[in-house]
Amino acid sequence: MSVVIRLATVGRKGERRFRVVVKEKRSRRDGKAIEFLGWYEKNINGEKKVINTERVKYWLSQGAKASPTVDKILSIK
């Protein structure tokens, strides 16, 4: 099983918010996740995020790969 840390969309059209989740690579973008790690929101005023970095480090140590977008979000922090 290949596991990836990526974004899942929530919210309405024009008001997108993203959940940072751990999922199997082949699963749907907005389908069931293994674990919810936090959320990310980008809007006109800037960006807001709350991410559990300890759990992210745990999943990366277990062999999970972060998507390029999640890599950018984590490197900013």
What is the pLDDT, as a whole number, of residue 1?
67
Token look-up 């919210």 returns 11
- In a 13 Å sphere around the CA of 43, the CA atoms on its Cβ side amount to 12
Structure tokens at 8: 């899942």
Give the residue among 11, 2, 33 at the shortest CA–CA distance from 20: 33
List the domain boundaries for the chain: 3-76
What is the pLDDT, as a whole number, of residue 21?
96
- Order of all β-strands in the sheet with 35-43: 46-51, 35-43, 17-24, 3-10, 65-66
77 residues of the chain, pLDDT tens digit each: 689 999 999 988 888 899 999 999 888 877 889 999 999 998 878 888 999 999 999 999 999 999 999 999 988 64
What is the pLDDT, as a whole number, of residue 66?
94
3-76 under CATH 3.90.1150.10, yes or no? no
Phi-psi region of 38 (alpha: psi -120 to 50; beta: other; left: phi over 0): left
pTM: 0.85
